[in-house]
Amino acid sequence: MDDIDKMLVGLLQEDATQSYAALGKAVGLSSGAAHERVRKLRERGVIRRTTIEVDPAALGRPVTAYVLVDGSSWMGDSAARLSAIPDVEEAHVIAGPASVLLKVRTRDTKRLQDVLRQVFEVDGVTGTQTVVVLETFFERPTRAD
C-alpha cells in the first residue's frame, strides 16, 4: 500500500458513502483513478467490507462483555459453534490465560447468562471468565499508518 491507498482507506473509514469524485479530489486523483484504487484494495482484501457503525444501545444491546473461554483441547475447531450464537460479535483464539476470547453484546445480564450457557454447551469448553464493560471511553477502527 502506498500513501494514496492509505489516505483512501482513512477517508473511507471516516465516511464510506463518499463519492469516488470526492475521494479522488481529496487525494489528487480523478474519480476513475480513485475508483480503480478502491477496487484493487477490495480485490487484495485490504477493504473487507463496507458497513455502517451503529450505537449498540440504540439497537437494544447496551451490555458489552468480554468472555475468556477455557478449553480441554484446541478450541480453534469451535468457531462454527461460537459463530452460531447471535450475541457473540467476535471470537479470537488467544495465547494467555484462556483459549478463546469472545466479545458479546446483549440486551441485559439475563441474556448474557443465556449466552454463557450456550458457550458451555460447545464441546471442549471447561470454563469461562466474564468481564462486563461498565463504560466505553472509545472504540476505533484499525488505521492504515
Three-state secondary structure readout of 47-76? CCCCCCCCCHHHHCCCEEEEEEEEECCCCH
pLDDT digits (tens, 9 = 90+) for 35-57: 999 999 999 999 999 888 899 99
Asked if residue 140 is part of any domain, the answer here is: no
Asked if residue 114 is part of any domain, the answer here is: yes
Let me know: does 36 contact 43? Beta carbons within 8 Å. Answer: no
User: Which pLDDT belongs to residue 53?
Assistant: 86
- Whether residue 122 sits in one domain with residue 80: yes
- Whether residue 63 sits in one domain with residue 12: no
- Whether residue 74 sits in one domain with residue 37: no
- Whether residue 94 sits in one domain with residue 126: yes
Average pLDDT over residues 3-18: 94
Where are the extended beta strands (E) located within 4-144? 63-71, 88-93, 100-106, 125-132
Total number of domains in the chain: 2
- Whether residue 116 sits in one domain with residue 70: yes
- Whether residue 80 sits in one domain with residue 22: no
- Tell whether the model's pLDDT for residue 26 goes beyond 80: yes
Of 27-36, 71-80, 99-108, 109-118, the poorest mean pLDDT is in: 71-80
Range of the domain at 86: 56-132
**Phi (first) and psi of residue 64, to 5 degrees:** -115, 135
User: Which pLDDT belongs to residue 20?
Assistant: 97
pLDDT digits (tens, 9 = 90+) for 75-95: 777 899 999 999 999 999 999
- Whether residue 65 sits in one domain with residue 37: no
CATH code for position 83: 3.30.70.920
Give 3's strand partners.
none
- Whether residue 32 sits in one domain with residue 70: no
- Whether residue 124 sits in one domain with residue 69: yes
